[in-house]
């Protein structure tokens, strides 16, 4: 509303509010009118500005580019200026050609408390207009009534979905007799077994679920329902048609077949449930393997062999954590903060000895990552955390390790900072890295396509940064 008041200083707040109310129903009216709908206001005496627009879903739009905010003079919009000057309906052609075709404008005044504050132009190319004229007089009259209701703000279609070229249309009188049936609507009812002409038939004789018609008759308002007809799922919309005396003269009914969409949604739900079950079983199998390795580790004398088994257990459990989250969440994105909390608990329970008083702190917001990236991050966090615990506090019993999560516009940054003993003098990451650090470097380079840096001093400051995945890469992960 503020934009309206700025662009059109002659409008009062109440008039701007009236335009906003009208604009909420504009898209559905544009669909049924098979026309672009543009709302013009005066920016100055000799200049107009488009404050609202609605492009139709039922036919190709005349204007491919956004039109809101566009200003025009009398030379550029003579028909719209004529409607303003005469304060009544004006019809004509827009100057020039659009995509090689002329554009017809039907421009109506919009009044608020007896003052014309805007003009609504319904615009079509000549080909679409000629086809539109050949439609039944019943639907043409109904659309005319609908446009009149819009212009008098006696219409609320904000709760309805859009109407496309695939939707069937009916016009029904208040007694329930079908006065008009589009070809698409006829085809839809034929799927239910109706072969005879349905014109003049009463809806309640058909035995179908006409919830939208009944809803309009009971509430005198537009309504929308999803119904099931035999093996088909239909979305039914109902729009009341009132005359100037507020008498209900008919109902426009829209029928959309969403059977294929609902079948796909059902298949996706089944697939999602199966995937969740697979992740659940993978998690259980990984935990079983980890338990077997733990048993094996207890039977191995203390030393490098036992340490290697314990490290393998922790790596397996890090991957199991990701599958645990995937088994509970239908989405393919994982909250790496929650994963980090689980890893932290595993490290605290399985690695820290009773003599170590280390405090491990997790900072930062929740970060959602695709499953593949989350798995790599889980392994990296586990390895760096294990490395800090095992090697940073050999001669110390107390300390603090921080895990910091950060997210910028382009990349995710994860820091693991300890106040331990740091790398030994002369340490070279390429030459001296243990297996865990080698795994980390491989994951960063090959899986995350990121960078890993270490700063050695009062402990070790490890920084992992990697770019966000594109939508295409996320879809590829989901497909794999």
Give pLDDT tens digits for 43-56: 988 999 999 999 99
**How many domains are contained in the chain?**
4
The pLDDT assigned to 357 comes to 78
Whether residue 111 is contained in a domain is answered as: yes
Same-domain check for residues 342 and 437: yes
Q: Is residue 366 part of a domain?
A: yes
CB neighbours of residue 376 within 10 Å: 24
253 alpha carbon, distance to own chain's centre:
28
Over residues 264-313, the pLDDT tens digits come to 887 777 666 666 666 667 767 777 777 777 677 777 777 667 667 766 77
Asked whether residue 309 falls in the same domain as residue 410, the answer is no
Q: Domain check: are 340 and 231 in the same one?
A: no
User: H or E element: which one contains 334?
Assistant: strand 333-335
Label residue 192 exposed, middle or buried (CB < 10 Å: 0-12, 13-18, 19+).
middle
Q: Is 363 within a domain?
A: yes
Residue 418 lies in a domain: yes
Q: Are residues 144 and 172 in the same domain?
A: no
Indicate the residue among 197, 226, 257 that finishes a domain: 257
- Residue 263 placed within a domain: no
**pLDDT for res 51:** 94
Question: 396 and 382 in one domain?
Answer: yes
The parent domain of residue 292 ranges over 276-330
Per-residue pLDDT tens listing for the chain (480 residues): 456 767 888 899 999 999 999 999 999 999 999 999 999 999 988 999 999 999 999 999 999 899 999 999 999 999 999 999 999 999 999 888 777 788 999 999 999 999 999 999 999 988 888 888 888 999 999 999 999 999 999 989 999 999 998 899 999 999 999 999 999 999 999 999 998 889 999 998 898 999 999 999 999 999 999 999 888 999 999 999 999 889 999 999 999 999 998 888 877 776 666 666 666 677 677 777 777 776 777 777 776 676 677 667 777 777 777 667 666 665 568 888 888 888 887 777 666 666 677 888 999 998 888 878 888 888 888 888 888 887 788 778 788 999 999 988 889 999 999 988 888 877 777 776 777 788 788 888 888 999 999 888 788 999 999 998 644 454 455 444
User: 308: which residues sit within 8 A by CB, 6+ positions away?
Assistant: none
The pLDDT value given to residue 461: 92
Residue 161 covered by a domain: no
Q: Residues 178, 201: contact at Cβ < 8 Å?
A: yes
| Strand pairing report for 398-407 and 357-363 | parallel
Q: Are residues 177 and 313 in the same domain?
A: no
Kindly provide the b/e burial profile for residues 217-251, where b requires at least 16 CB atoms within 10 angstroms of the residue's own CB: beeeebbbeeeebeeebbbbbbbbbbeeeeeeebb
Three-point CA angle 169, 172, 176, nearest 5°: 135
Residues 123 and 175 in one domain: no
Which tokens belong to 404? Answer: 């910091």
Residue 141 class from Cβ within 10 Å (0-12 exposed, 13-18 middle, 19+ buried)?
Answer: middle
Please indicate, yes or no, if residue 421 is contained in any of the structural domains: yes
């Amino acid at each position: 509303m503020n934009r309206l008041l700025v662009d059109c200083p002659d409008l009062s707040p109440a008039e701007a509010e009236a335009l906003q109310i009208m604009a909420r129903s504009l898209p559905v009216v544009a669909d049924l009118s098979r026309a672009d709908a543009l709302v013009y206001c005066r920016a100055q005496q000799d200049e107009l500005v488009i404050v609202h627009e609605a492009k139709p879903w039922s036919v190709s739009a005349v204007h491919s580019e956004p039109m809101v905010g566009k200003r025009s003079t009398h030379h550029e919009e003579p028909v719209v200026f004529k409607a303003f000057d005469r304060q009544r309906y004006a019809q004509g052609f827009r100057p020039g050609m659009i995509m090689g075709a002329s554009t017809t404008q039907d421009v109506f005044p919009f009044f608020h408390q007896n003052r014309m504050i805007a003009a609504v132009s319904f615009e079509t190319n000549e080909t679409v207009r000629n086809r539109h004229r050949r439609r039944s007089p019943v639907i043409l009259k109904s659309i005319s009534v609908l446009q009149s209701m819009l212009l008098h703000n006696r219409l609320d279609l904000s709760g309805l979905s859009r109407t496309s070229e695939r939707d069937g249309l009916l016009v029904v009188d208040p007694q329930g007799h079908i006065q008009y049936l589009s070809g698409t609507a006829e085809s839809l009812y034929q799927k239910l077994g109706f072969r005879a002409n349905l014109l003049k038939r009463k809806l309640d004789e058909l035995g179908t679920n006409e919830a939208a018609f009944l809803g309009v008759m009971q509430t005198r308002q537009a309504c929308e329902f999803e119904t099931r007809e035999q093996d088909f799922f239909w979305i039914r919309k109902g729009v009341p048609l009132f005359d100037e005396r507020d008498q209900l003269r008919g109902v426009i009914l829209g029928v959309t077949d969403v059977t294929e969409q609902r079948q796909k949604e059902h298949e996706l739900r089944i697939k999602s449930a199966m995937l969740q079950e697979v992740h659940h079983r993978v998690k259980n199998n990984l935990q079983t393997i980890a338990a077997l390795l733990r048993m094996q580790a207890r039977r191995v004398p203390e030393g490098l062999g036992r340490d290697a088994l314990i490290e393998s257990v922790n790596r397996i459990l890090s991957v199991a954590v990701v599958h645990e989250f995937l088994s509970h969440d239908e989405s393919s994105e994982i909250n790496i903060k929650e994963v980090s909390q689980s890893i932290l608990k595993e490290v605290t329970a399985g690695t820290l000895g009773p003599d170590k008083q280390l405090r491990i702190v997790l900072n930062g917001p929740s970060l959602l990552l695709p499953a593949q990236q989350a798995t790599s991050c889980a392994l990296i966090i586990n390895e760096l955390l294990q490395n800090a615990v095992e090697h940073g506090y050999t001669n110390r019993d107390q300390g603090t390790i921080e895990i910091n999560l950060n997210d910028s516009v382009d990349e995710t940054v994860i820091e693991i900072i300890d106040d331990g003993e740091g790398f030994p003098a002369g340490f070279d990451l390429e030459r001296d890295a243990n297996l865990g650090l080698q795994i980390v470097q491989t994951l960063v380079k090959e899986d995350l396509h990121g960078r890993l840096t270490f700063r050695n001093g009062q402990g070790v400051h490890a920084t992992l940064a990697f770019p966000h995945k594109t939508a295409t890469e996320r879809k590829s992960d989901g497909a794999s």
